[in-house]
Amino acid sequence: MLVITRKPSESFIIGDNIKVIILEVTGDKIKIGIDAPKDVKIIRSEVFETVKSNIEAVSTGNIPNLSILQQVVKK
């Protein structure tokens, strides 16, 4: 893992065409901007993990609380 220290308004480049800019630091939160081509998919890691686990559950047929979901959908 590469660790980079940046201050607000500073940036760094990933590859040839992705620029990450530190916009704001407030307490324990950091606001960043990402300038990348439209064909580059950018997704938060927690969303990625949820999607990944949902795909795995569907592909294995191991869907927790499926019967409860089916009852809700029928209503």
Average pLDDT over residues 29-50: 93
Measured distance CA(4)–CA(41) in Å, rounded = 22
Average pLDDT over residues 47-63: 77
* Of 65 and 40, the one with more pLDDT: 40
DSSP per residue, 41-62: ----HHHHHHHHHHHHHHHHT-
Listed by start position, the domains of the chain span: 1-37, 43-75
Cβ(22)–Cβ(8) under 8 Å? yes
* Of 51 and 62, the one with more pLDDT: 51
Residue percentage of the chain with pLDDT more than 70: 80
Average pLDDT over residues 14-33: 96
Measured distance CA(49)–CA(26) in Å, rounded = 27
